[in-house]
Structure 1
Amino acid sequence: MQNTGERRIRRRSSVSLAFILSMLVIMLLILFRHHSMDEIQELLMSLKAKWLLAAVGCVLLSYLCEMACFYVITRKIHGKASWRTSFRVTMAGVYFNSVTPFACGGEPFQVSYLMDDGIPMGSCANIIMVKSTIFQASVFLFSVFSYVFNADALYRLVERFDLFFIAGISVNIIVILFYGLFLVNKTAAKKTVNLVFKLLGKCHIIKEPEKYGKKKEEEIEHFARASRMIFNDAGAITVAFVFQFVNLLLGYVVPYFLLVSLEGKYDAFFDMVTSQAILRQITAYIPSPGGAGGTEGISYFFFMNFFTKTPVVSVILIWRLLTYYFNIVFSGVYLMVIRERNFKSEIKQIRSGKAA
């Protein structure tokens, strides 16, 4: 029989998935309202397969870059790391961050997968915190570089670009400072470890977290020691940043491949990538799961000046199917297979124990 906590988690996930699917249905309704089936069929037939496959390849390669970033950070903090665990952590983040508001649901599950690899919980919390800081800083730096080197084109292409840029960068700076505080301040570190215990308890990864008083103190020390280790190694930080930058770039290139596939335009690479950097910074803080609803609306203002022959709504739909809905399906299936495999393994061990 499911307990209350498990039912609550399942209920929230169901509500989020229902909302995400409703956004997909709304986009389809808008598309079918303004375009006939013949027009949509013609659009699909015009897609050039090799460029569409290149877009899918970018999504898959981005998983590997994310995995490599986790691997580098984990190896530095813990002393050793597993590629398999790093990929599981990546998939947990991809799935649970996609189906929760503010993309904040993946952390407890990522900590859980890291703990399964024998890493102390305090170090796990630090790994996730460092990775989140590097991600936010990479999004910030990428958008700043885009503004510095391509501001004139962005102002020409995106209406009210200055408002988008200022809003996104302001929130991003606050988030980076927040993460930084928790990494360098021991009082904040204590709050982080307490929060992680609380989240793990709510997710029923550990039971009765309030009983772990002594354990918490040990984990706080693990957290603080891990912070000192990672910040004293510029090389590891640099390598993690490189993987994160490539990860972002792969995501930003996807719309460019759609542009080439649908309209045969090859000369908009830099403008598309830099505009995507600004778009990513803004949509990261939309409170709905995966930014559903808001992301589609804001992206319209970015895409309308690139896609001049193709219905923009259809482009946004294809783009979201590749970069969002595909993420949910791929990571969800992967985690389901892993969970089923682990469950069968546990049952086999229990039966072997009884047989013995």
Structure 2
Amino acid sequence: MKNRKKVIFNGVFLAVVFALTIYGVFHGEDLSSMMDAIHRADKRWLVPGIALVAFFIWGESIIIWYMMRSSGIRLKKRTCFLFSSVGFFFSCITPSASGGQPMQIYYMKKEKISIPVSTVILMIVTITYKLVLVVIGVGIALFGRGFLHKYLEGILPVFYLGLALNIFCVTFMTILVFHPLLAKAIMVKGLKLLERLHLVKKKERRLKKLEDSMDTYRDTAAYLKKNPLVIVKVIGITFIQRMALFAVTWFVYQAFGLHGTGFWEILFLQAVIAVSVDMLPLPGGMGISETLFLTIFKPVFGGLLLPGMVLSRGLGYYGELLISALFTVVAQLTIGKEKKQGQKQTGQGMQ
């Protein structure tokens, strides 16, 4: 019943945010002119954009496959691609991408992968995923002063807020991993403070659950110390993976036959949007991502700004959503089935 209510809430929340986004973006706009511009775009440039979205999903699957192997777990790459698709699909449709990893753990469990192992691996994926954003964001803030003033004057507070939230998140997760005793003390005191303020009810099992969760962080720290080269490679793959998705907008730019803005400028403008919205409690950054695009890409797309946003966002978010949704269905139909079939045949053979 609780899970059903959560699904209904997430579905309604997603529908409301989507409706508000559509209204906010297209209200008062000349939609026929926008559609004409999209029809005139050179669709050949959009094919590589779609391929980059698929590569983005595939990139995480390679990270999962690689880390599973380093943990002594042999999986097929196509199975890891399904895990990755499940994660991206549920991240796209839940606030703050909160539903992705729990569903990945659920499907990994169906493949007989222990929850502690899958949790540690997915936590490292999260840390490196956000770490790459932090590195890019800090690099832009420190070394891209001209870039900031040229494109981001109107959204600097949002950019700095997003960067600060990502830095806090990465720092906090790192403390949890490398200083579990300190993290435990902080979290226990925080829980007791919330209880004293009557913001949560006092429950012994909640404290026990919190203490048990710290085992995951200790296991993560042990993995990181044991496999430093693996982590370096994962960070490298994550960087390429992230850049691939940001590059989709450049192909949209080329599809309209536009010139004057370089590849890296467009790439980093898209990175700015990712940094700004990553920690916000909106499914896929819906609403704020479109608004930021229409603000900072105005000098880039000019009169084709709205069609450019529709195609860029359509490929980068909705394309990702559709591809991952398709393979989530495949995951539901196939993951765990081979092992069940094998166990069934083994049981029949013994009879």
TM-score bucket of the superposed structures, by smaller chain: 0.7 to 0.9
Structure 2 gaps of 5+ residues are 188-204
Which residue of the partner structure matches residue 295 of structure 2? 301
Q: Indicate the residue corresponding to 2:201 in structure 1.
A: none
Please say if residues 54 and 257 of structure 1, whose CA atoms lie closer than 8 Å, have aligned partners that are also in contact.
yes
2:279 to 281, 285, 290: 285
> Is the CA contact (8 Å cut-off) linking 2:53 and 2:315 kept in structure 1?
yes
Match of 1:264 in 2: 258
Answer whether contact 1:69 1:240 (CA < 8 A) is retained.
yes
- 1:315 maps to which residue? 308
Q: Does structure 1 residue 183 correspond to structure 2 residue 180?
A: no
Alpha-carbon shift at residue 224 of structure 1 (Å): 2.7
Retained in 1: the 8 A contact 2:151–2:297? no
SS in 2 for 1:305: helix
**What is the alpha-carbon distance in structure 1 between the residues aligned to residue 249 and residue 105 of structure 2?**
32
Q: Deviations over 1:146-204 (max 9, x none)?
A: 34443312311222454344222211111001211222244558999xxxxxxxxxxxx
Distance 1:347 1:10, change over 3 A: farther
Report the alpha carbon displacement of residue 61 of structure 1 after superposing the two structures with TM. 1.0
Task: Note the C-alpha offset of 1:260.
Answer: 1.4
Alpha-carbon distance in 1 for matches of 2:127, 2:184? 14
TM-score by length of 2: 0.81
Query: 43, 55, 77: which is aligned to 1:61?
Result: 55
Structure 2: how far apart are the matches of 1:44 and 1:257?
A: 13
Residue 339 of structure 1 corresponds to: 332
Match of 2:239, SS state, is helix
Counterpart of 1:326 (choices 319, 326, 329) is: 319
Do the aligned residues in 1 keep the contact of 2:110 with 2:336 (CA within 8 Å)? Answer: no
1: CA distance, partners of 2:25 / 2:17: 13
The residue identity in structure 2 corresponding to 1:155 is H
SS of equivalent to 2:318: helix
Task: Give, in angstroms, the shift of residue 278 of structure 1.
Answer: 1.8
Matched to 1:329, the amino acid is L
Partner of 1:26: 23
> Where do residues 1-356 of structure 1 align in structure 2 (5 Å cutoff)?
4-23=1-20, 25-26=22-23, 29-30=26-27, 33-35=28-30, 37=32, 39-76=33-70, 78-82=71-75, 83-160=77-154, 162-187=156-181, 188=183, 224-265=218-259, 267-310=261-304, 312-341=305-334
Amino acid at match of 1:136: K
Q: Which has the higher contact order (CA 8 A, sep 6+)?
A: 2
Distance in 1, matches of 2:331 and 2:286, equals 27
Q: Which residue identity lines up with residue 323 of structure 1 in the other structure?
A: G
Structure 2 counterpart of 1:201: none
Could you give the per-residue CA deviations for residues 2-44 of structure 1, whole angstroms, max 9, x where no partner exists? xx134223312321342354145426743xx42152x234302
Displacement of 1:231: 2.9
Number of aligned residue pairs: 326
Distance 1:233 1:36 in 2: 53
State the distance in 1 between where 2:288 and 2:139 align.
24
Look up the SS of the partner of 1:339 in the other structure: helix
Counterpart Cα distance in 1 of 2:165 and 2:216: 30
Identity, in percent, stands at 18
Conserved in 1, the CA contact under 8 Å of 2:124 and 2:220?
no
Distance in 1 between residues matched to 2:69 and 2:58, nearest whole Å: 16
- Structure 1 length-normalised TM: 0.80
For residues 139 and 260 of structure 1, the distance between their equivalents in structure 2, rounded to whole angstroms, comes to 25
CA distance in 2, matches of 1:342, 1:153: 46
Q: Deviations over 1:301-326 (max 9, x none)?
A: 1111111131x223222222111122
CA deviation string 1:238-264 (max 9, x = no partner) = 110111001110111111111111142
Query: Could you tell me which amino acid in structure 2 is paired with residue 90 of structure 1?
Result: S
**1:154 & 1:222 partners in 2: Cα distance?**
39
The amino acid across from 2:320 in the alignment is: N
Q: Report deviation, 1:282.
A: 0.5
RMSD: 3.2
Deviations 1:60-107 (A, max 9, x none): 11111111122223322x223422332122112111111111111112
SS in 1 for 2:284: helix
Matched AA of 1:332:
A
